[in-house]
Amino acid sequence: MPSDAVTSVPSPERPRSPLMLDLIELLRLSGPVVLSRLGIMVMGLTDAIVVGRFSAEQLGFHAMAWAPSSVFVTMTVGLLVGAQVMTSRAIGAGRPHDTGAVLRRGLVYAFWIGMASAVSLALLGPPLLHAVHLPKALADGATAPMIVFSLSLPLYALTVVLSFWLEGLSRPGPVTIAMWVANAVNLAVNLLLVPGTFGLPALGAVGGAWATFVARAALLIMLAVYVLRLKDARALGIFDKPARDLPASIEQRRIGYGAGASNFFEVAAFAGMSLVAGWIGGLSVAAWAVVINVAAVIFMLPLGISTATSVQVGRAFGSRDPAGMTRAGWVAFAFTAVVGLVAALLLFPLRELVASAYTADPGAIALIAPALALTCLFLAPDAVQVVAAQALRARGEVWIPTITHLISYGVIMGPLAWWLAIPMGLGVNGIVWSVIVTSFVSMAFLLGRFRMLDVKDRGLAG
């Protein structure tokens, strides 16, 4: 061997920076959660497409029935988000056995929330439809599917707690698999009941609502069986009656109160947009239903990221790591903004194709395609604001996101939508412009508050 030969020594792998590690963890957690959240919306998308291809009129009935139901669905998610936050905090603090108590409290809480929601929607929803000056045919057609939607709300509430608990444990994969199996069930029942196959009567919008009921029941059964069969179920305290812990119970509900109220303001405002569209005309209701359904499907991406962000920030909170909370938050905000921009760039050239997937009605397509083009403008800020709100809650900031959503969605968006759509004559496009303005306002408020907490924590550390 020549004397000047150099033995090759592999250079040591450069250690990854904390920012890169946070991004990798965000991607690892958010991937399955995004797929799970997409599964939720694909279920609604399937209902809308099957019903819409059957009849544009029935799609209007389905959309108007779903609008008030979505208020209860989204508020339920918010009220129960404490199960996810408290689970991730317990893991961060090194107390996995405490997560069983979080789950048991959450299931009891979910049962009563689901029952109250079902009774409220069934009793108050139909009279409300007839009291807000909608065309009588539209209100009558939406009544039956709304009542069917109400029946599945208790099932849905229980699935939310089970899903949040598993995600708080950083085990989102089984939730994703169960959700997509439930989607297959939903599609099969839709194709059976909506157009009426194998000699069954065509149920239209009512058939779509029953498909949702069956799919939610299937999802609940799958998640419950999985949780009960976990190998470490006893170590997680699932079968142990939790000791009475009033502060923990109050904190779990407190987180939910803020998120539930926040979600209520936001989803109620969007449901109100359906009312504004109804004042314009039945075809506008169908057009807005498509626009908001497409936006909601895309919204599942940042919603999934927000869950992963909540878990990361919650762990840092539980381990008393302010720098970790700051880093996890801003990495997530930047990543989410990129995701929103990419979604907008994809939707814009495909807007007419997307519109034609929902309906073959030329009049409806003429309303939907321009509105989808405008929708591209709010995808990024709307994405960032939901992630920022969830990061603040995981950080212990419960009521600022709620106040922000009250101002943005409760005070600004509704009146602005009415003014632009009707007095200004912009129609459905006016409704979309109101969402654009509101999304930027909400994002600015929430990012500003997160930055204020960063500065405060640095001051305390100094």
Q: Is the pLDDT of residue 10 over 70?
A: no
Note whether 246 and 109 are within 8 A (CB): no
Mean pLDDT for 271-294 is 81
CA dist 165 and 98 (Å) reads 12
Higher pLDDT, 145 or 201: 145
C-alpha dihedral sign at 305, 307, 310, 314: negative
Mean pLDDT across the chain, nearest whole number? 86
Give the residue from 180, 165, 156 showing the smallest Cα distance to 38: 180
Residue 193 has pLDDT above 50, yes or no: yes
**Other beta carbons less than 10 A from residue 426's beta carbon:** 18
DSSP per-residue codes, 85-144: HHHHHHHHTT-TTHHHHHHHHHHHHHHHHHHHHHHHHHHHHHHHHHHTT--HHHHHHHHH
**Dist. CA 30–CA 24, nearest whole Å:** 10
C-alpha to C-alpha distance for 297 and 159, rounded to whole angstroms: 19
User: Of residues 229 and 198, which shows the higher confidence score?
Assistant: 229
Nearest Cα to Cα of residue 258 among 81, 45, 43, 2? 81
For residues 297-322, average pLDDT: 84
pLDDT at position 5 is 44
Q: Predicted confidence band at 383 (pLDDT cuts at 50, 70, 90)?
A: very high
Higher per-residue pLDDT: 324 or 281: 324
| pLDDT at residue 459 in the model | 66
Residues 6+ apart with CB under 8 A from 220: 155, 158, 159, 162
374 versus 31: the higher-pLDDT residue is: 374
Rounded CA-CA distance 217/215 in Å is 5
Write down the pLDDT at residue 156.
Answer: 95
Cβ–Cβ under 8 Å, residues 257 and 398? yes
**Percent of residues, the chain, with pLDDT higher than 70:** 95
Distance CA(11)–CA(225), nearest Å, equals 49
13 pLDDT tier (thresholds 50, 70, 90):
low
Asked if 390 contacts 309 with a C-beta cutoff of 8 angstroms, the reply is: yes
pLDDT digits (tens, 9 = 90+) for 91-141: 888 888 888 899 999 999 999 999 999 999 999 988 888 887 777 888 888
Distance CA 394, CA 402 (A): 14
Please check the confidence at residue 325 and state whether its pLDDT lies above 50: yes
At 7 the pLDDT is 46
Per-domain residue ranges of the chain: 18-461
Q: Which residues of 97-120 are buried (b: 16+ CB within 10 A; e: fewer)?
A: ebbbbbbbbbbebbeebbeebbee
Residues above pLDDT 90, as percent of the chain? 34
Average pLDDT on 194-207 reads: 82
pTM equals: 0.74
DSSP secondary structure string for all residues of 338-377: HHHHHHHHHHGGGHHHHHHHH---HHHHHHHHHHHHHHTT
User: Is the four-CA dihedral 172, 177, 178, 179 of positive or negative sign?
Assistant: positive
pLDDT grade for 416, boundaries at 50, 70 and 90: very high
Question: Given this model, what pLDDT does residue 4 score?
Answer: 45
Asked whether the beta carbons of 400 and 392 are under 8 A apart, the reply is yes
**Residue 333 pLDDT level (bands cut at 50, 70, 90):** very high
In this predicted structure, the answer to whether residue 332 has a pLDDT above a threshold of 80 is: yes
Rounded to 10 deg, the angle between the 246-280 and 414-421 helix axes is 10
DSSP structure string for 196-251: T-TTPPP-THHHHHHHHHHHHHHHHHHHHHHHHT-TTTTTTTTTSPPPP-HHHHHH
CB proximity list for 229: less than 8 A, separation 6 or greater = none
* Torsion sign (Cα): 121, 122, 123, 129: positive
Distance CA(175)–CA(165), nearest Å, equals: 10
- Name the pLDDT band for 37 (thresholds 50, 70, 90): confident
Q: 439 vs 37, 404, 410, CA distance in Å?
A: 20, 11, 12
> Which tens digits make up the pLDDT trace of 420-453?
989 988 888 999 999 999 999 999 999 999 999 9
The closest of 390, 457, 415, 450 to 77, measured between CA atoms, is 390
Residue 189, pLDDT score: 92
Distance CA 284, CA 1 (A): 83
The confidence score (pLDDT) of residue 66 equals: 83
What is the DSSP annotation of 310-332? HHHHHHHHHTT-HHHHHHHHHHH
pLDDT at 3: 44
- How far is it between the farthest Cα atoms of the chain? 96
Query: Does 344 score more than 90 pLDDT?
Result: yes
Q: b/e map of 228-249 (b: 16 or more CB within 10 Å)?
A: eeeeeeeebbbeeebeeeeebb
